Amino acid sequence: MSSETNVTNWSDLNLSPEMLDLIEKAGYKAPTPVQEKAIPLVIAGHDVLVSSQTGSGKTASFVIPTVERFKGKNGTYILALSPTREIAQQTGAVFETFGAPFGLRTVVCIGGASIPLEKEALASSPHIIVATPGRLVDHLERGNVWLDFIQCLIFDEADRMLDMGFASQIEKISEQIPKERQSLMFSATFAPKVEKLARQVMRDPKQVTIEKAEGSVPKIDQRLFWMEEGKKPSALVRLVREEPGTVIIFAKSKERVYQVWRSLEDKKIAATYIHSDIPQKDREAAIADFKSGKFQVLVATDVMGRGIDVDDVAHVVNYDVPREAEDYIHRIGRTGRRGKTGMATTFAIPVKDEQGIRAIEKLRGIKSPEKPAPSAAHQGQSKPRGQGPQRGNDRARDTRPRDVGPRDARPRDDRPRDERPREARPAHSPKVSRPESASVVALPEAAKPNKIVSFFKKLFNK
Ligand code: AMP
């Protein structure tokens, strides 16, 4: 199909033969919906405001057209701002893939990396800079970089950058860039603060919103379980043991991450973890080990978890209800990627977490769900999941007991993770794949689980 409104082939997007070649080499068979819509607008030089979830292919939707638009010019003309080091590195890698073959050089500037080395790299006038806002302001203040030649400013995951308190740095950076420029903004949500920033930094932007029907919204089977704090560790262990795929667990603090990891280790479950106190190299190694299947479970804080680009995450667990409602969307966006059906489970404490759950509803403008009934929430009833209406029929449940196999047979190593040589850490069974049929998790549930589950499902049906 090649009508303007229904483009499905890369060749319909007016890209150069060289770029089409690179896309083919990258294995991108067809453009994703965000790519179909954003690429022509970016190539035409518009400011574009894009609402799309992580995992929708948004990075390539700004990298491919900006490289096409600016290749062959001299000077530093593209600046992409990313919320975290990991996302900046991933974005830098995508610019390498599609820009380096055209002779474009990319420099990534991130906290934790060497300032003198970055200074040297910036002095070499790269064509593209990818940076976290804090580090870029640091370079600006040291006089290591000038932004006078920037012609395209990209805000990736703008909502997240604002949530992380980067508003003033973003303002400082935007002020240094010529007004005659192209601005592209990507955000999972259009929270009021994102709209405000867009009004400040963009000019008459074209808006791209990816609808669910277009396939970009992940298919995520969402569940909410009300339970007391003390029940969480055993509920988690059970859930992980019954989940054949990979699991990312989000916890609210570093201490909490360690606590959760410890409780899994105690049960000989192959888990690793990341948080901001862990050196960058170790974090990268932990993510690589998780990606390779060496560990079934990764425990993370919100900020760290955001940068994890793993396509095969079967299940996201919100061990703690997120502090910010927007984090819920970001967290569960780790699963259900690239057309697969994911699973997201939230553990909420009756009364204490009600406000947080309400905030998640409010974010999406959804009507309040039934209140949990404290009596039932405390009873720890077990009931096979899947009794309510389900999304994602390809993840049909199998209630047969599973053999947890090698995980239970692993030797115990009681040393803290950081003190253990990598090779001595428990090896997880080979690369985890997503079976057609996965087992059922039976956990304590609220009195009206179906209503609550269906409420959560509405978040993504909207
Ligand atoms: P992103 O939303 O940018 O984080 O991308 C999510 C994943 O999708 C990354 O692993 C990309 O390499 C991959 N990807 C991006 N565009 C395509 C495409 N058109 N076809 C297949 N995979 C893609």
Please indicate, yes or no, if residue 345 is contained in any of the structural domains: yes
Query: Is a pLDDT exceeding 70 seen at residue 419?
Result: no
Query: DSSP of 183-244, one letter per residue?
Result: EEEEES---HHHHHHHHHH-SS-EEEE--GGGT-S-EEEEEEEE--GGGHHHHHHHHHHH--
Q: How many domains does the chain have?
A: 2
CA of 311 to the centre of ligand 1 (A): 9
Please indicate, yes or no, if residue 174 is contained in any of the structural domains: yes
Q: Which domain holds residue 286?
A: 218-365+426-458
Please indicate, yes or no, if residue 349 is contained in any of the structural domains: yes
CA atoms within 13 A on the CB side of 450: 5
56 lines ligand 1 (CB under 6 A): yes
CA of 55 to the centre of ligand 1 (A): 6
Are residue 340 and residue 205 in the same domain, yes or no? no
User: For ligand 1, atom 13, which residue shows the shortest CA distance?
Assistant: 57
Q: Ligand 1 test: best mutation among 28, 96, 184, 217, most atoms within 8 Å of CB?
A: 28
Query: Is a pLDDT exceeding 70 seen at residue 405?
Result: no
> Quick one: pLDDT band at residue 127, thresholds 50, 70, 90?
very high
This prediction's pTM = 0.56
Report the Cα–Cα distance between both ends of the chain, in Å, rounded. Answer: 28
Average per-residue pLDDT for the chain: 77
CA of 85 to the centre of ligand 1 (A): 19
Lowest mean pLDDT across 63-67, 114-118, 325-329, 387-391? 387-391
Please indicate, yes or no, if residue 33 is contained in any of the structural domains: yes
Cα angle 437, 461, 325 (rounded to 5 degrees) comes to: 100
Percent of the chain scored above 70 by pLDDT? 73
Please indicate, yes or no, if residue 402 is contained in any of the structural domains: no
Are residue 43 and residue 125 in the same domain, yes or no? yes
121 vs 313 pLDDT, higher one: 121
* The pLDDT of residue 338: 65
Query: DSSP of 275-341, one letter per residue?
Result: -TTS-HHHHHHHHHHHHHTS-SEEEE-HHHHTT---TTEEEEEESS--SSHHHHHHHHTTSS-TT-E
Lowest mean pLDDT across 84-88, 275-279, 291-295, 393-397? 393-397
* The pLDDT of residue 438: 23
* Closest ligand 1 atom to Cα of 338: 8
24 lines ligand 1 (CB under 6 A): no
Are residue 80 and residue 21 in the same domain, yes or no? yes
* The pLDDT of residue 108: 97
Of the ranges 237-251, 305-319, 375-389, which is most confident? 237-251
Please indicate, yes or no, if residue 405 is contained in any of the structural domains: no
Residue 202, phi then psi, degrees to nearest 5: -115, 160
CA of 303 to the centre of ligand 1 (A): 21
Are residue 41 and residue 181 in the same domain, yes or no? yes
Position 211: which residue type?
E
Please indicate, yes or no, if residue 381 is contained in any of the structural domains: no
61 lines ligand 1 (CB under 6 A): no
Are residue 138 and residue 32 in the same domain, yes or no? yes
CA of 142 to the centre of ligand 1 (A): 36
CA of 56 to the centre of ligand 1 (A): 6
444 lines ligand 1 (CB under 6 A): no
Q: Which CATH number covers residue 446?
A: 3.40.50.300
Are residue 238 and residue 158 in the same domain, yes or no? no
